[in-house]
Structure formats: C-alpha cells, structure tokens
Structure 1
Amino acid sequence: MEYAVIAAVVAGAVQNLLESSDDDSSDDEDFIYCFGNRAGQNIIPRIENYVETTVFRMTDETFKSHFRMRRDTFEFLINLLGPDLQKQSAQYGRHPISVEKQLLLSIWTFATPDSYRSVCDRFDVGKATAWRTIWKVVKSIYNYLPVYIKWPTPEEARITSNYVYQRYGFPNVLGAVDGTHIKIAQPKEYHASYINRKGFHSIQTQLVCDHKLKFIHAYCGEAGSVHDARVFRLSHLQDYCTAEYFPDDTHLLGDKAYSIQPCIMVPYRNNGNMSRECIQYNMIHSSSRMMIERANGLLKGRFRSLLDKLPFKRTDLIPYYVITCCILHNICILRDDLIEIPILVNHEIPTFDVDVEVNNAIKVAGMNKREQIKFFINNL
C-alpha cells in the first residue's frame, strides 16, 4: 500500500512536470545546464541512425556491455513499458520517437557516466527531447515499484534465512540494510543540509536486500547530512518491525550506524577489550552482512551514473531516478541477468555509534537477542 501511494504521487509529479515544460522552461534549462556540465565537454558530431544502424546490429555480448543488460531483458522492458510510453508520446505529441529509442536512450543515461551532450549526439535528439524522454521512462518504470521492490513473503524470508545460516553461520537473517550517499550537484535551496561529513553534496539512499542481492525495500530522498539511524526511521522501515514482517524471530543485519533492536542485529562496539565470543560474533555478522555491500556495488556497477555526480538540481526528482535504477536492478536479478563487476571497496561516509530514537525496552530486547545469538554462534 505504501509503495502504491508513492508510485501514484510520482506519476502525478512527473506528469505535471512534463505537461508544464516547454523548450524554454527554467526546469529544462537547469537540467540541460547541469547535465551538460558532466565530465567530457568535447564536441561530438551527432550519430545519425545510431539505433537503427548500430544498436540493432550489435552482438548480444556487445549490447550487454553497452547497455548493462541482456537483449532479451531489454525486449522484456519494451513489452512491459511500451504501451505506457506510446500513450505518453501520443499525449505530449512533440515529434515522438520510437519506444525502442526512448528506452535505449534512457538506459544508456542510467548505465554510463556520459555527458548529456554526448547522449544527445549519440541518439541524434535535441536536449529538451532527451530530457523529456528520460523522465517519461522514469515515470513509466516507477509505476512498477510495488511489483518489483516488495517485502518478502514468510516463505521467501525462510529461504534467505536458511541460505545465510548455511553459508555464513548467522541465524534467522531476513536481509541486510545499509545506506549509501548519491552525489548530486549543489541544490538551489537548503544546499548546506545536503553536505555530508566528507564535504560534498549528496542524497541518502537506504537499501535492504535479500541473499540474491535483490532489493526488498528502498528509500531515497533525505539530505546528505542526515544520519543513517534517522533515515531508517523516516523510511518507515521501523514500522515494519513486527512479527508480521519479521516472522520466525528473523532480523536484518546492519552496521554500527543503526540502533540495536530485535529486528536489527548490529555488531558489538569495539572498546578495545572485546571478548573472543564478541569478536567471533562480529566476524560472522560482517561476513553475512556483506550481501548488502555486494548489492549496492552491483547496482552502481550496472548503472554507473550513480557513481558520478547526478546532474539534477531538482532534489524532489532525484529519488525517482535512483529508485528507478533499483527497480531495473531487481528486474535483471529476477531474470538471472547478471554482470561481472569487481567487489567495490566501501568508501562510504564513516559512521559512528549512535543511540537514536529507539525505546529503551526495545533496545534491551535487542541486546538480549544478540547475546543469545552470540552464545549460539560460539557453541556450534
């Protein structure tokens, strides 16, 4: 229900944006100015009929290397999104381009750090056309948020729990949670609040994944200065911390940025005198939690624009772009469309131990549960 409401909101927001924009709109100019100033300013001659003469002749291997997905996954997206994209093109009626070209242009934008100018030249379209195309595709994909990013069923939770326990030795794991910072251009308003502890502007994204590296919850939009523990509360994930969503005494694994509670197991603080049992617990916890690091690395390795500074000053639109990439990530995983990427070393913003916004009784219950798990791990 929560995702369905959000999807409806973004559909309306993006539609209003598209309907109100024209070639001279300030939104277009902001986007074009910022996107046009990404890395790579060399003037590139336009490529005529790139889609028709080059893309459709690519080998499957070359296609996947360029667009970060198999050709059959792309064809699946054409069938999934085609009717809506055709409807939108007819509605706005500005020299509509084919559904295939709309989707190829957008996926290329998601998947590469290419400058906006380079994207326009490659696909032989004007700047405003490319801008509208990307946001029409974002809107269309975002409508599928509740279909492709959803909380696991009890059976799915058991499968993840069994997998993690058998492979790493940590019991009752439903998934892992972590935050990541998405670099952005300096926003027009409240820009100081978007400066994180490393000194650059960013937007927080919180991701929860299962053992397949599929996202089961995704939240994006808080300013870079907001702490992970507060993002957790604002994401409404705290509201999920009930037996209905965490059956069979399951829990998420989080790092020290999160407050311990029965639904989130975190490592013991290292005060310099940890016991052997605590060290063993932390080691197994870290190995088990690595799946969220891998999922985040796979997301950014596939959609490499997320590794670069996103070129939008409209901070209200950035979350939809990021979550759209998460939806595509899940579609690829569900279709066994994997890519080989190196495991990215985590250079995220350093976190600090916190005790934030958790009822003391809940915290004590979480600490007691962790003690039981520590005993279990050390007595296998």
Structure 2
Amino acid sequence: MAGIVHIFHAGRRGYRQRVHTECPKPLQQYTTEELYDRFRFGLDDINYIADLVRPQLHCRILRSHALTVEEQVLIALRFYACGTFYQVIADSMGVHKTTVGEVVTAVSDALARLLDHFVTFPNDGQIAKVKRKCFLLGDMPNTIGVIGCTHVHIQAPHQREWEYVNRKGRHSINVQLVGDADLAITNCVVRWPGSVYDAQIFRESRLFTEFQINRPDGVILADSAYPLLPWVMTPFPTANTPSQMRYNNAHGRTRCAIERLNGVLKRRFACLNYLRVEPQRACRITLACIVLHNIAVHRRVPLTLMIPQSPLHLWIGGAMRDAIVRNYF
C-alpha cells in the first residue's frame, strides 16, 4: 500500500527522476598542448597543484556528489584561464553552475593561503643572482626588483561602490606587484579599491615599513608615481645631461619587466581582465592567480600563444621586421 501511495503522489506532483551526466575526464582525453590551452598547465603541473591544495579540498561534497581534488582544481583552472560566466564553465566541465562558484571559491581560498610560501622577496643568498639578471635586462646596477600597480576590473560592488571607481571610470581593485627579471612576483598587495593611488598603496604596505627600517641591499625601480627614496629609484622628470639620459634609458629598459609581468599574468589568467564578483572574492581570486603564476614561473610552464601563427604570417612578419631594421636602424 505504501508503494502505491508513493507512485500516486509521484505522478500527481510530476516528480522527475534525477539524471546525472558523466563528467568529462580532461586529464585522460586531452593532449599536453590541449591542457595548456584550456587550463594553462600540463598534466604534471595540475597534479602538483592538486597535491598542494589536497589537505583543504579532499572529498568536499557538492550537491550530494563528491568531486575529486583534481576535478575541483580543473574547474578552477578553467575559470582562471578564460574568466567567462560560471554557466559556460559548468557546461564544459559537466557540473552545475552553483558547483562552479563553490569550487572556484574553495580553490581560490586554498591557493591564497599558500601565498607566503610562493611569493617571497629574495633573501641574502639570492640577492647577487637577482642583481645580475636585472642588470642584463637594461644595464641598471644594484637592482633587486621592479614595482608597479595593475588594475583588476570588477563589477560594481553593492557596498561603497564609489571607492572602486578608478581614474578611467571603471570599477577595479588596484593591485601592487614587485617582480624580478624572471617575471616572478616577489611581493604583492591585493586589497585596495581602484580609486586609491599607487603611492598610497606603497606607503601603507608592509614592504615600505620594513625597508624603511631595514634598508635592503639594493634598489627597487619605480615610475614617477612613487617617491624617490634611498632604496627606490625613479626616473629623472627631465634629463638634463647625457648621463641622466643614459640612466633614464637603463631605468626604463629594466623597469619594463613589471609591465611584461602584468601582461603575462593577465594573459595566462584571463579572469583578471574582469571579475564578476564582489571585491573580497576578487581579491582571493587574484591572490590565487598570483600563486599560480609563480608556480608556472618556477616550473617553467610555457605561456601558450593566444593567436596562432601560420608559416606564411611568420615569413611576412620576418620580412617586414628586416625591412624596418634595414631602413631605420
């Protein structure tokens, strides 16, 4: 009788049987190149990242189904790599949109907790090597790092919206980065609204407080938005002598490493071009991408080409470059 009642109610209320689709298996179905294109990391790198976050993500239960740590990492990496809507990630990974949001949050938090392990300023034993590599960039002596800020654009937040409007009229987080010649991030500040000036972020940073007391064995290169200090070198506003011109040129050639770093970071993790989340979550995602960026640098993970180059394009480009060199240099 109980069974009959159950059938009657099921029919009357229009219950549908839940159907679970099988999730894709990217680690088995994609080649190494395809993994780089979709997740920015290869098989060994993905397993390495999964082992790092395994203690915090092991057997998390989402919608009554356990996602493996590797599956959670792949979902998050896919989001970091393309930065599209959660629904698009969900469709490609065979999960629900809500699951994508929960996984991205969990993986981002787990990676952000590893920041102090992967983002470190060079110690006394590493300083000489860092100076040598920076000198090779542009003949700038005694350089131990380059500093600059980049804006991570976000959707308009629900609270204190006006604080996040930057000078270009867009909502953003203003992120301060210090990098080296290898484009590794050695220090970062990820917490300030887009309306805050670079110099204020710098003066409020722990790096500034520490180096004002214990001056480092070397200098950090900065643009004119930063103050000139014994350990922070900025360019001359107007170069009046040949020596000052040579200094400015060497300074610019070396400091451009921070611009390249910002470009590589956002090219590798396209989500940083626009995050549709509240500021606090945007900061955690940004920190996660910074940790992943340094992992990629240390493990020499290649940056895939976003624009494919055919042999014809390479030949034409090479011919044009040769013509410019021949006619102007």
Question: Which TM-score band (shorter chain)?
Answer: 0.7 to 0.9
User: Is 1:81 aligned with 2:53?
Assistant: yes
What residue is the counterpart of 1:162 in the other structure?
Answer: 132
Q: CA deviation at 1:222?
A: 0.9
Q: CA deviation at 1:220?
A: 1.1
Q: CA deviation at 1:245?
A: 5.9
Question: Which of 67, 70, 83 is residue 97 of structure 1 equivalent to?
Answer: 67
Question: Which of 224, 249, 260 is residue 228 of structure 2 equivalent to?
Answer: 260
Question: Which of 106, 123, 146 is residue 76 of structure 2 equivalent to?
Answer: 106
CA distance in 1, matches of 2:246, 2:174: 31
Give yes or no for contact 2:149–2:174 (8 Å, CA) kept in 1.
yes
Change (3 A) 1:186 1:177: same
Q: CA deviation at 1:243?
A: 7.3
- AA matched with 1:299: L
What is the number of residues matched between the two proteins? 287
What residue is the counterpart of 2:210 in the other structure?
Answer: 240
Give yes or no for contact 2:36–2:304 (8 Å, CA) kept in 1.
no
What residue is the counterpart of 2:296 in the other structure?
Answer: 332
Relative to the length of structure 1, the TM-score reads 0.71
User: Is 1:141 aligned with 2:111?
Assistant: yes
Q: CA deviation at 1:236?
A: 2.0
Q: CA deviation at 1:167?
A: 4.1
User: Is 1:276 aligned with 2:242?
Assistant: yes
* Structure having the higher Rg: 2
Q: CA deviation at 1:82?
A: 2.1
CA distance in 2, matches of 1:50, 1:96: 12
What residue is the counterpart of 2:188 in the other structure?
Answer: 218
Q: CA deviation at 1:124?
A: 1.9
Question: Which of 180, 193, 216 is residue 150 of structure 2 equivalent to?
Answer: 180
Q: Note the alpha carbon deviations across 1:96-153, whole angstroms, 9 max, x for none.
A: 2121211111000001032221111112222222111111111111121111011111
Instruction: Say which SS state the counterpart of residue 35 (structure 2) adopts.
Output: helix
CA distance in 2, matches of 1:65, 1:317: 25
- AA matched with 2:251: H
Give yes or no for contact 1:49–1:123 (8 Å, CA) kept in 2.
no
Question: Which of 263, 288, 292 is residue 254 of structure 2 equivalent to?
Answer: 288
CA distance in 2, matches of 1:147, 1:324: 12
Q: CA deviation at 1:334?
A: 0.9
Task: Note the 1:289-328 alignment, pairs <5 A.
Answer: 289-307=255-273, 309-312=274-277, 314-328=278-292
- AA matched with 2:265: L
Q: CA deviation at 1:177?
A: 0.4
What residue is the counterpart of 2:37 in the other structure?
Answer: 65
Instruction: Say which SS state the counterpart of residue 208 (structure 1) adopts.
Output: strand
* Structure 1 stretches of 4+ moved >4 Å: 242-245
Q: CA deviation at 1:341?
A: 5.3
CA distance in 2, matches of 1:94, 1:286: 55
Instruction: Say which SS state the counterpart of residue 186 (structure 2) adopts.
Output: strand
Change (3 A) 1:243 1:212: farther
Which range moved further: 233-242 or 275-284? 233-242
CA distance in 2, matches of 1:188, 1:179: 24
Q: Note the alpha carbon deviations across 1:358-380, whole angstroms, 9 max, x for none.
A: xxxxxxxxxxxxxxxxxxxxxxx
CA distance in 2, matches of 1:184, 1:93: 28
What residue is the counterpart of 1:189 in the other structure?
Answer: 159
What residue is the counterpart of 2:310 in the other structure?
Answer: none
Gaps in structure 2 of 5+ consecutive residues: 1-19, 307-329
- AA matched with 1:281: Y
Relative to the length of structure 2, the TM-score reads 0.82
Q: CA deviation at 1:50?
A: 4.9
- AA matched with 2:24: V
Gaps in structure 1 of 5+ consecutive residues: 1-46, 343-380
Which range moved further: 254-263 or 161-170? 161-170
What residue is the counterpart of 2:24 in the other structure?
Answer: 51
Give yes or no for contact 2:175–2:191 (8 Å, CA) kept in 1.
yes
CA distance in 2, matches of 1:169, 1:243: 28
Identity %: 28
- AA matched with 1:109: F
Give yes or no for contact 2:137–2:253 (8 Å, CA) kept in 1.
no
Change (3 A) 1:337 1:329: same
Change (3 A) 1:86 1:240: same
CA distance in 1, matches of 2:258, 2:220: 11
- AA matched with 1:267: P
CA distance in 2, matches of 1:295, 1:167: 14
CA distance in 1, matches of 2:23, 2:245: 56
Q: Note the alpha carbon deviations across 1:321-360, whole angstroms, 9 max, x for none.
A: 1011000000111111131558xxxxxxxxxxxxxxxxxx
Give yes or no for contact 2:89–2:97 (8 Å, CA) kept in 1.
no
- AA matched with 2:34: T
CA distance in 2, matches of 1:245, 1:77: 35
